[in-house]
Structure 1
Amino acid sequence: MQANGTSENRPDASRESYIMGRTSHEYQRLRQQAKMWEDLTARILREAGLEEGMTCLDVGCGPGEVMRLMGEIVGVQGHVVGIDVDGEIGRDALRQLHAGAKSRFSFFEHDLFGAAPVPGGPFDMTYARFLLVHCPDPVGVLRKMHAATRPGGLIVVQDYDFQTVDVNPPLASWSEFGRVWFGVLERTGKDKHFGRKLPLHFVEAGIGFPDATDVSGRIGSLRQYGPALEAVYRSVLPIALNLGLTTQADSQAFLDELQQAGSGDGPFTLFWPLIVSLWKRKPG
């Protein structure tokens, strides 16, 4: 298998469906998000059945942080492949992974909404994290993951259920976050309840009801998680402004209050969105 590759299908459907932007700011946010959920992801990979020597695929691999975790588990006899429509971030991830390689890593620039099959398969495990919620056809992506999984292999997904995000006690301008974040989700066809519907998507894709599920959350001080919340808000703010969901004045008032609340010793806590994890072994 190649150490790097480029798939031929590039209709850019999945690129256009990603509402968070493709900027250096967003790439940094993705890396910070990966660190936040690193322990959970490593646990789910092991519980689902990832083992030394396996071949695995990270669908929508982004900065490669899950690929790194996979490599630590499968070891030098294993093989980790990442695919992403964003070739820039994927190739940068591959360079960093090769610098400290304890496993074999490959990357393919590939759009799942094209006609070409997933390159490099079949795999012992196909995996996607925080991807399907952004896809216009998540069931179609799951079907491709299922097709790329060998008989007896595993399909594993982790994704957000956004409904729980909240700050307590409420900020005076907290409605601004909901207006922007949930407004952008709704106007771009995304589902804030996506995570809880994942089992049904598995069934619709022909994978079957998951063998196991896990629902995990996180609550912490606004001092700790405020910067991550701000990064999410800033990533979708340009779309919100274009859609007329907010104004520069309202957004700045929210950002000022968020930073002030997060910089003090007040009792503000942030309840993060829930992470729904589920997996299924393909008959074989």
Structure 2
Amino acid sequence: MVLIVDESYQLGTFRDNEDSLRRLKSQAGIALDLEFENLRHAGLAQGQRVLDVGCGPGIITTQIALRTLPCRLLALDCNETSIKETRAQLSSAGVNDAQVRQCNLYDDALTEPGQYDFSYARMVFQHLSDPLSALRNIHRSLAIGGRLCICDIDDRWFGAAPQPPELQSFLARVARAQAARGGDRHVGSKLANYLEETGYSDIRCSMLLVSTSLIGATAFCDLVFGYKMEVIPQAELEQAQREMAAIKESIESPGGWAGIGVFFVSGEKQ
């Protein structure tokens, strides 16, 4: 069987891969305490068997290890660079008993069936062309009563005040570009239905508002615009850069504000 490799996010394929990796690490370090509050609400607890799917550079994997002391921890990612970074992060934090493995979420043999109490997918599903197949494979890996939590975005929950006229055209441009790569900038509000469709129950939803008030205007713009520019095709790049410059100028001006809702949606395997 030939497995799909989605092109929406693959380190090593961007215009500036070093900056993409830096931004990934920075993103993972933002509002960690608030993120873990949402994870605890979703079912993350001490001493569980935890599966981190799409682990990226391993910042959150390492925090799960340090904060919850899981009895078993497996981190998966399809990208070789991400796997190397995760292993380095865990090692530097003195976490020596976690497993890290390169794996595709569309692989039916993702893990041994029924082995995990909690699974986390952070900013993964916006990049999947076949989210239902991935959800079924994660479901298979969970024990009865185990829970999956998905953290992801929906650009329809992006707001700014004052709202620059370029914002909606820029977001629409990014949504088209990411969809062409197999991704979905509007996945956040679809997650609850996806979980229900693939057999999860006790579905819980919460939201974290990441805003300029929380992290500052400069950090916010770096967080939300860097990846967006990477997916824009070359033919549209100049126009997108003009739009982004106008949006950033508005957000970073005195009295400017912007925020985006980050969805946390979880479900249980019965």
TM range (shorter): 0.7 to 0.9
Which residue pairs with 2:7 in the alignment? 16
Residue in 1 aligned with 2:243? 254
Q: In the TM superposition, what are the counterparts of 1:120-139 in structure 2 within 5 Å?
A: 122-139=115-132
Q: Does 1:80 align with 2:73?
A: yes
Deviations 1:81-119 (A, max 9, x none): 100001222222212212222572110000122343326
* 2:57 partner SS: coil
Tell me whether 1:141 sits opposite 2:134 in the alignment. Answer: yes
Residue 47 of structure 1: aligned partner: 41
Question: Is the partner of 2:29 in helix, strand or coil?
Answer: helix
1:58 aligned onto 2:52? yes
Distance in 2, Cα, partners of 1:125 & 1:253:
43
Give the Cα–Cα distance (whole angstroms) in 1 for the partners of residues 215 and 205 of structure 2.
31
Describe the shift of the 1:231–1:214 C-alpha distance in structure 2 as closer, same or farther (beyond 3 A): closer
> Amino acid of the residue matched to residue 233 of structure 1?
F
Separation (CA, whole Å) in 2 of partners of 1:157 and 1:204: 15
Q: CA–CA distance in 1 between the matches of 2:252 and 2:266?
A: 40
Q: Which amino acid aligns with 2:5?
A: S
Residue 83 to residue 119, structure 1, CA distance change in 2 (3 Å): farther
- After superposition, where does 1:176-191 map in structure 2 within 5 Å? 177-191=170-184
Deviates more, 1:166-175 or 1:253-262: 253-262
The answer (yes or no) to whether the contact 2:50–2:72 under 8 Å persists in 1 is: yes
Instruction: Provide, for residues 19-70 of structure 1, a one-character-per-residue CA deviation record: whole Å limited to 9, x for no partner.
Output: 7855222111111211224223211222233233221010000011221221
Aligned positions, number: 267
252-261 or 98-107, which moves further after superposition? 252-261
Aligned in 2, Cα 1:152/1:253: closer, same or farther, shift over 3 Å? closer
Shift of residue 122 of structure 1? 1.0
Q: 1:115 to 1:280 in 2, by over 3 A?
A: closer
Matching residue of 1:3: none
How far off its partner does 1:238 sit? Answer: 5.0
Structure 2 Cα separation of the partners of residues 186 and 100 of structure 1: 37
Match of 1:278 in 2: 265
Q: Give 1:71 shift.
A: 0.8
Q: Normalized against structure 1, the TM-score is what? A: 0.80
Report the more deviating stretch, 77-86 or 180-189.
Answer: 180-189
How far does residue 241 in structure 1 lie from its aligned partner after superposition?
A: 2.9
2:117 maps to amino acid: D
Q: What is the correspondence of 1:151-170 to structure 2 with a 5 Å cutoff?
A: 151-170=144-163
TM-score by length of 2: 0.84
CA contact (8 A) 1:126 1:155 kept: yes
Task: Give the 3 Å change call, closer, same or farther, for CA 209–263 of structure 1 in structure 2.
Answer: closer
Q: Pick the structure with greater CA Rg.
A: 1
Alignment partner, residue 30 of structure 1: 24
What is the CA-CA distance between 1:261 and the residue it aligns to? 4.5
- The CA distance in 2 between the partners of 1:50 and 1:255, in whole Å, is 37
Q: Is the 8 A contact 1:129 1:157 kept in 2?
A: yes
| Partner Cα distance (2:192, 2:110) in 1 | 24
Higher mean C-alpha deviation, range 190-199 or range 148-157: 190-199
Paired with 1:70 and 1:199, the residues of 2 have a C-alpha distance of 24
Alignment check: 8 A CA contact 2:10 2:79 kept: no
From 96, 99, 106, give the equivalent of 1:113. Answer: 106
For structure 2, the residue ranges without an aligned partner over 5 or more in a row are none
Aligned to 1:229: 221
Q: Give 1:138 shift.
A: 0.8
Secondary structure of residue in 2 paired with 1:180: helix
C-alpha contact 2:125 2:152 (8 A) present in aligned 1: yes
Deviation at 1:179, TM superposition (A): 4.1
Counterparts of 2:220 and 2:2, CA distance in 1: 31
Cα offset for 1:252?
3.8
Percent identity, aligned pairs only? 22
